[in-house]
């Protein structure tokens, strides 16, 4: 179920109910809740989509190059460290077999990657809206699904035929301990160059958008609470 849509519909119905039945308190609760829910929904939408006339919208596609650099650093600094490469090479029984990097990827701590994403959001035009609903703490429920999805995405990249063929070629045609980091780096760079702003947006959107729906829910709840307080006062 779409939490954002349901919250906005409930707030709108409450507003209409208060208006047509001449109930000021109910109307106040509804209009404040609708304001909070709709504003937060718009902020979430602006995070992923460019809206003409609204400065700061489309943060994810607009900062596409920064996200690419971040993904590259994540893969090279977290996955393909010298220690992980040595562990992988020592466990590979034959270079003719398909190279399975999933165990190495599963063992990597991706919490710094999530913290980096939260930092990007907080420093964007969305940061002010996020602060109103609890700041970075409101994004913490997304940590686990984000990490799981990111690991899945990286595993998918390393399991493509092109990636395995390129890596096997370098491993069999050179001294595997000599410059392997640079070779892996060039492969990753080639794969990342195939990414588009739309694809990066979809990857991040699929990971976190449904969880950002809670910002809309809490926006409606807090807005309705403020409306009740205002009506009583």
pLDDT of residue 90: 56
Sequence-ordered alpha helix ranges (H) in 123-232: 127-132, 143-158, 161-173, 180-192, 197-232
pLDDT of residue 180: 67
pTM (2 d.p.) = 0.54
Contact 41, 216 (CB under 8 A): yes
Q: What is the DSSP string of 13-73?
A: HHHHHHHHTT-HHHHHHHHHHHHHHHHHHHHHHHHHS--TT-TT--HHHHTHHHHHHHHHH
Q: What is the pLDDT of residues 160-178, one digit of tens each?
A: 777 777 766 665 554 554 5
pLDDT of residue 228: 93
The separation between CA 103 and the C-alpha centre of its own chain, rounded to angstroms, equals 23
CA distance 113 to 198: 20
Q: What single-letter DSSP state applies at residue 187?
A: H
The separation between CA 209 and the C-alpha centre of its own chain, rounded to angstroms, equals 7
Residues 6+ away with beta carbon under 8 Å from 149: 206, 207
Q: Where are the domains of the chain?
A: 3-232
Q: What is the pLDDT of residues 7-16, one digit of tens each?
A: 999 999 999 9
Listed as ranges, residues in the chain with pLDDT below 50 are: 93-97, 174, 177
pLDDT of residue 225: 93
CA distance 179 to 80: 12
Locate 214 and state its tokens. 């809670």
């Amino acid at each position: 179920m779409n939490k954002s849509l349901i919250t906005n519909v409930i707030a709108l119905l409450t507003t209409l109910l208060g208006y047509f039945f001449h109930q000021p308190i109910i109307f106040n609760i509804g209009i404040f809740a609708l304001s909070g829910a709709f504003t937060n929904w718009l902020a979430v939408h602006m995070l992923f989509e460019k809206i003409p006339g609204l400065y700061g919208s489309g943060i994810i596609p607009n900062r596409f190059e920064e996200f690419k650099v971040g993904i590259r650093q994540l893969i090279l600094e977290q996955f393909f460290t010298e220690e992980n490469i040595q562990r992988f090479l020592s466990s590979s029984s034959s270079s003719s077999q398909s190279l399975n990097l999933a165990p190495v990827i599963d063992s990597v701590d991706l919490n710094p990657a999530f913290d980096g994403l939260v930092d990007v959001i907080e420093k964007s035009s969305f940061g002010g809206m996020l602060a109103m609903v609890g700041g970075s703490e409101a994004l913490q429920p997304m940590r686990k699904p984000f990490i799981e999805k990111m690991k899945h995405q990286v595993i998918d990249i390393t399991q493509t035929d092109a990636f395995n063929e390129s890596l096997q070629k370098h491993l069999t045609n050179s001294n595997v301990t000599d410059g392997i980091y640079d070779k892996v780096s060039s492969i990753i760079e080639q794969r990342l160059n195939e990414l588009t702003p739309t694809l990066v947006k979809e990857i991040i959107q699929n990971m976190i958008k449904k969880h950002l729906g809670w910002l809309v829910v809490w926006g409606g709840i807090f807005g309705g609470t403020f409306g009740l307080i205002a009506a009583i006062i």
